[in-house]
Amino acid sequence: MNNKLKRLGLSELTLIGLAAGIFCGLFFGEQASRLNIFGDIYVRLLQMTVLPYIFFSLIANIGQLNIEQAKLLAKRAGTVLLLLWGIGIVIIITMPLALPPQLSASFFSSSIFEPPQKVNLVKLFIPSNIFTALGENIVPSIVFFSIFTGIALTEIQQKELVIKLFKALEQTMAKVTSILAAVAPIGVFAITANAAGTMKLEELGRLQGYLIIYLIAFLLLTFWVLPGLVAALTPFKFAEVIQISRTPLVIGFSTGNALVVLPLIIEEVKKLFKKYNIQNKEAIDMTQVVVPLAYPFPSLGKMLMMLFVPFAAWYVGEPMGLPDYGVYIAAGFPSFFGSAAIAIPFSLDLLRIPADMFQLFLATSILANNVGECLTVMHLMALSLLVACASSRNVRLRWKRVGIVLVTAVLLTGIFLLGTRVYLGKTSEGSYKKDEIVASLQLIGNPVPHVIVEPSPNPDPLLPGETMTERVRRRDILRVGFDPDNLPWSFFNAQQQLVGFDINMAFNFAKDSGIDKIEFVPFQASSLVKQMEEDHFDIAMSGIVGTVERSIQLQLTRPYLYINLALVVPDYKVNQFATLESIQVMRNLRIGVDDRESLTRKVASLMPNVEFVVLESDRDFFEGAETGKNLDALLISAEEGSAWTLLYPNFQVVTPFTPQIALPLVYPFQANDQKADEILDDWIEFRKNDGTIQVGYDYWILGKGTKPKQPRWSILRNVLRWID
């Protein structure tokens, strides 16, 4: 047995570590996260030599070339890279055909939307300070600097000493990497155990369409198309390409970082050349240059993530057409020179797909990143082999092999696409159920006894000389005014329970004041002042914005929250309303508002070209009621707008106002009651300081804690039941 273990190679041991890590994570569940520190140590050990390796390798290997050789490198590597990108584009257009047309759904993120990030290619590629680029791991900048330094070195007459020094440093970094690779099984075990023990599986059912086409594309490209292409154009056999790729593929997948295996790729290519007795110094030198040089460019691994955007369009019921693909590839592809965290939101915005979908993309980040980096390793392996063979004149076009690879790839793709389309068509759950998230919102804590009464004056009028505070104490009942359709402050959930941030605050105030019962009285924004004057309720608690007009007409508490003025628009209009300048040049705009006259006047001064339409309820805008028809946008707070998009995910919040316009939320109460003024202001201050308001904000507005956290499934807990 020991002899068998000794004969196992690094790739076999690493695969054993991978399998053992998965089992460990499934067995121990979240407790396996304790191994994460060992995984971090392993990844950092591998990373510490990579950037120095790229730096020394590029300068030394480009510097030893002459100008003609450098031009040849650009020609050969560029041709192969364009070929690989072409394959990636075909995959991006083809794989979404597996998605059946009948499935339509959406996803909501309660986060306040930030302005879309823009790719700064100048900053990404041109370093103003190479030491900053090295310190911040800006790989394109490091490559750019190294290339230019290497090109300059080609013109230096006495460069042998410098090249010899950099070559020695390059070999030193490669040696350190090979030594560290020996602990790959341990590092891979720790990483996969942590991932398998902590990864949540709740979204897999909703994401299966994306995950299936993503994994099918990965398997086809990694284990058939790319090695088959190399076998069809070079002397190397298909099995040999797979064999030399095993260790880099496993390490790239388990670490989720192809950067750490660049030296291993070069060493494996050298071994294959040595096996075939191809003693061509130019080819070896070309390999050492092209691998680190090609890494910052979009690989097939990065391009595979582009499949998410067609999936997102299908997911919301608006699949992309061929013109959309043209726009996506022409404008979206360059953004993948940077991070997917920048490229995906940019592409969603570009194609008018709900920005909520980016949160769904993040849910797949662990799997997608590791699989994508694994494909990146094979991409770099194929690129280096093809360029090296072209440099040593060992490229031969074998039409029979090309035909076998092409026909088999088409057949496999067709079978997978058809099977996936049938499967997803049967398992699709249908359209988005807009009350699901709202139905999960419940009051925080236990409410005091309460009833909802019809709008009418208090049945027990104030006695002569009696204040509101005194009447509440005498009756032991607090009458609270609320807007029944004002998310997230006061509304009825799917169980027809009155809930919301301010409803919770009303119960908190009653408990803190020793009041035994609340009578909730509905009002509309337009009737607030009138109902308050007619003594319908003692206090109004329903996301009411403090304005000068209301301060004159009513008595107001100090602000308990500040919210931000924003607009809500259909997703496809986000770009049009992204900035105040873009809004000001549009004509015949109609924007819905409630009766906040001071806010309307303020915004009207910023948008003189807008007609404001007063709505009875914000819902009129979303559902296209009579007053809400043909409106371009809704003037609302960002917090309220985000809550409404829970129900209507085809709309999005935009914040074109710079600087932001903050709105104070207050509680109007019965006038001429100094005692109530002091009590309410002190109570708000207490509740701010003890965290109650922050907890409510996190729950009702940000959506934190709306689903109780369950322990991760594990064999130890759920099968053996050895722990609770």
Q: Look at residue 104 in the predicted model and tell me its pLDDT.
A: 38
**How many Cβ atoms from other residues are within 10 Å of residue 129's Cβ?**
11
Q: Look at residue 1 in the predicted model and tell me its pLDDT.
A: 46
Confidence class of residue 428 from pLDDT cuts 50, 70 and 90?
low
DSSP 718: I
CATH class of the domain whose range is 2-95+120-427 = mainly alpha
Q: Which pLDDT tens digit goes with each residue over 122-152?
A: 776 788 888 888 887 777 788 788 888 888 8
Residue 446 in this model has a pLDDT that exceeds 80: yes
Domain ranges in the chain with CATH number 1.10.3860.10: 2-95+120-427
Q: Which pLDDT tens digit goes with each residue over 167-201?
A: 899 889 878 877 877 887 888 888 888 877 876 65
In the chain, the amino acid numbered 459 is: P
Q: Which among 310-314, 423-427, 709-713 has the top mean pLDDT?
A: 310-314
Q: Look at residue 454 in the predicted model and tell me its pLDDT.
A: 92
Q: Which pLDDT tens digit goes with each residue over 685-702?
A: 999 999 999 999 888 887
Residue 106 in this model has a pLDDT that exceeds 50: no
Q: What is the mean pLDDT of residues 69-75?
A: 74
Per the listing, tokens 């009041």 go with 515
Q: Look at residue 695 in the predicted model and tell me its pLDDT.
A: 92
3-state SS string for 442-476: CCCCCCCCEEECCCCCCCCCCCCCCCHHHHHHHHC
Q: Look at residue 356 in the predicted model and tell me its pLDDT.
A: 67
In the chain, the amino acid numbered 71 is: K
Q: Look at residue 431 in the predicted model and tell me its pLDDT.
A: 44
Q: Which pLDDT tens digit goes with each residue over 319-360?
A: 887 878 887 887 767 666 555 666 777 778 778 787 767 766
Q: Which pLDDT tens digit goes with each residue over 151-171?
A: 888 888 788 888 899 889 988
Phi-psi region of 610 (alpha: psi -120 to 50; beta: other; left: phi over 0): beta
User: Tokens representing 288?
Assistant: 């050492």
The Cα 221–Cα 227 span in angstroms is: 8
**How many Cβ atoms from other residues are within 10 Å of residue 503's Cβ?**
25
Q: Is 342 helix (H, G, I), strand (E, B) or coil?
A: helix
CATH of 438-559+669-700, one of 3.40.50.920, 3.40.50.410, 3.40.190.10, 3.40.50.2300: 3.40.190.10
- This prediction has a pTM of 0.61
Confidence class of residue 11 from pLDDT cuts 50, 70 and 90?
low
Q: Which pLDDT tens digit goes with each residue over 37-49?
A: 888 888 778 778 7
**Residues of the chain above pLDDT 70, percent:** 87
The Cα 274–Cα 262 span in angstroms is: 19
Residue 6 in this model has a pLDDT that exceeds 60: no
Those residues whose C-beta lies under 8 Å from the C-beta of residue 75, and which sit 6 or more positions away, are: none
Query: Phi and psi (nearest 5°) for 79?
Result: -65, -45
Query: Phi and psi (nearest 5°) for 329?
Result: -70, -40
User: Tokens representing 640?
Assistant: 């309220």
Q: Give me the residues paired with residue 637 across strands.
A: 565
Q: Which pLDDT tens digit goes with each residue over 596-649?
A: 666 677 788 888 888 888 888 888 888 876 666 788 899 988 888 888 877 787
CATH of 561-665, one of 3.40.190.10, 3.30.1360.70, 3.40.50.620, 3.40.980.10: 3.40.190.10
Least confident segment among 204-208, 483-487, 586-590: 204-208
Residue 2 in this model has a pLDDT that exceeds 90: no
Of residues 599 and 530, the one with the higher pLDDT is 530
Residue 113 in this model has a pLDDT that exceeds 50: no
Closest-CA residue to 355 (of 630, 618, 112): 112
Those residues whose C-beta lies under 8 Å from the C-beta of residue 709, and which sit 6 or more positions away, are: none
**Is residue 637 a contact partner of residue 563, using CB atoms and an 8 Å limit?**
yes
Residue 522 in this model has a pLDDT that exceeds 90: yes
Q: Look at residue 511 in the predicted model and tell me its pLDDT.
A: 93
Q: Which among 16-25, 313-322, 352-361 has the top mean pLDDT?
A: 16-25
The CA-based dihedral angle spanning residues 149, 151, 155, 157, taken in that order and rounded to the nearest 10 degrees:
60
Residue 284 in this model has a pLDDT that exceeds 60: yes
Q: Look at residue 343 in the predicted model and tell me its pLDDT.
A: 72
Domain ranges in the chain with CATH number 3.40.190.10: 438-559+669-700, 561-665
CA 163 to chain centre: 43
DSSP 702: S
Buried b (16+ CB within 10 A) or exposed e, 4-28: eeeeeebbebbbebbeebbebbbbb
The Cα 265–Cα 160 span in angstroms is: 26
Q: Which pLDDT tens digit goes with each residue over 462-509?
A: 888 888 888 989 999 999 999 998 888 999 888 889 999 999 999 999
Q: Which among 239-248, 334-343, 715-724 has the top mean pLDDT?
A: 239-248
Least confident segment among 97-106, 257-266, 547-556, 614-623: 97-106
User: Tokens representing 344?
Assistant: 């995906």
CA 137 to chain centre: 21
Residue 390 in this model has a pLDDT that exceeds 60: yes
Confidence class of residue 394 from pLDDT cuts 50, 70 and 90?
confident
Of residues 110 and 283, the one with the higher pLDDT is 283
Arithmetic mean of pLDDT over the chain: 81
Query: Phi and psi (nearest 5°) for 654?
Result: -125, 150
Residue 256 in this model has a pLDDT that exceeds 80: no
Closest-CA residue to 557 (of 697, 693, 455, 444): 693
The CA-based dihedral angle spanning residues 544, 633, 638, 486, taken in that order and rounded to the nearest 10 degrees:
40
Confidence class of residue 432 from pLDDT cuts 50, 70 and 90?
very low
Confidence class of residue 274 from pLDDT cuts 50, 70 and 90?
confident
The answer to whether the Cα torsion of 234, 235, 237, 243 is positive or negative is negative
Residue 109 in this model has a pLDDT that exceeds 50: no
